[in-house]
Amino acid sequence: MSDVMIRVQHVFKSVTDSTGSLTILRDIDFSLAAGETAAIVGASGSGKSTLLSIIAGLDTPSQGTVLIGGVDLYQRTEDERAALRAEKVGFVFQSFQLLANLTALENVMLPLELAGRRDARAAATAMLERVGLGERLNSYPKVLSGGEQQRVALARAFVVRPAVLLADEPTGSLDFATGAKVMALMFELNRELGTTLVLVTHDLAIAERCERRITIEAGQVIDPALTPG
């Protein structure tokens, strides 16, 4: 088995409001190897997106921790977690999250520029060509279709060659045919770059394309085969 890339260790997440305490995640524990693909599935409100945010270091667990490439996220400061994300983690969101005032090329260049890469323009251009948008480099998001915007988002995520890619309902804003093309492209890029892919989806056909399925029900992993790995 390859080295462990993601280790989720006994993660709990609770929130408290005026009505009392609510446990969102309860003792989530699993590992994913480098290059492995996993789908997190479950009903709305089961805790899937919260778990993804904790894996990303964007949300803090009430108990437990997450290691990315052996680095304990929650023994690091917020700034250190941000630096780790910039270096190792790519994101794809349902709502694309492109910057409206930047062209497709500029959106994909941005993470490279933030990392100080001198080849940002060339690398971003090559990645946009790889996702079939070589003719749309200078187009702004508002003139791109949903499928084109999600391909820009894929290019932006993969251009830094991340060790981990996290995707939250990546086809949720797309029609079936467009979503299928985007997912085919995501899996192709994932294989080419050897990225560890974790995606949240309601689409069981997409989940079946992953090597692992992590089913969350009422905040717990219910598939015993996917508990400690």
Question: Is 143 exposed, middle or buried, given 0-12, 13-18 or 19+ CB atoms closer than 10 A?
Answer: exposed
For the chain, what is the domain count? Answer: 1
In a domain, 164, yes or no: yes
For residues 86 and 68, what is the distance between their CA atoms, to the nearest angstrom?
13
In a domain, 228, yes or no: no
Range(s) of the domain holding residue 175: 4-223
Strands 89-93 and 164-168: parallel
Mind listing the pLDDT tens digit of every residue in the chain (229 residues)? 458 999 999 999 999 988 888 899 999 999 999 999 999 999 888 899 999 999 999 899 999 999 999 999 999 999 999 889 888 998 888 888 899 999 999 999 999 998 889 999 999 999 999 999 999 999 999 999 999 999 999 999 999 999 999 999 988 888 888 888 889 999 999 999 999 999 999 888 899 999 999 999 989 998 645 544 4
In a domain, 27, yes or no: yes
In a domain, 158, yes or no: yes
Strands 63-68 and 4-17: antiparallel
Residues forming a β-bridge with 23: 14
In a domain, 186, yes or no: yes
CATH number at residue 173: 3.40.50.300
CA torsion 152-154-159-162 (nearest 10°) is: 160
Q: In this predicted structure, what is the pLDDT of residue 174?
A: 86
pLDDT per residue over 81-129, tens digit each? 988 988 899 888 888 889 999 999 999 999 999 888 999 999 999 999 9
In a domain, 229, yes or no: no
Structure tokens at 5: 């890339």
Question: Is 227 exposed, middle or buried, given 0-12, 13-18 or 19+ CB atoms closer than 10 A?
Answer: middle
What average pLDDT is seen over the chain? 90
Q: Which residue has the tokens 């945010």?
A: 53
In a domain, 175, yes or no: yes
In a domain, 212, yes or no: yes
The DSSP call for residue 202 is: S
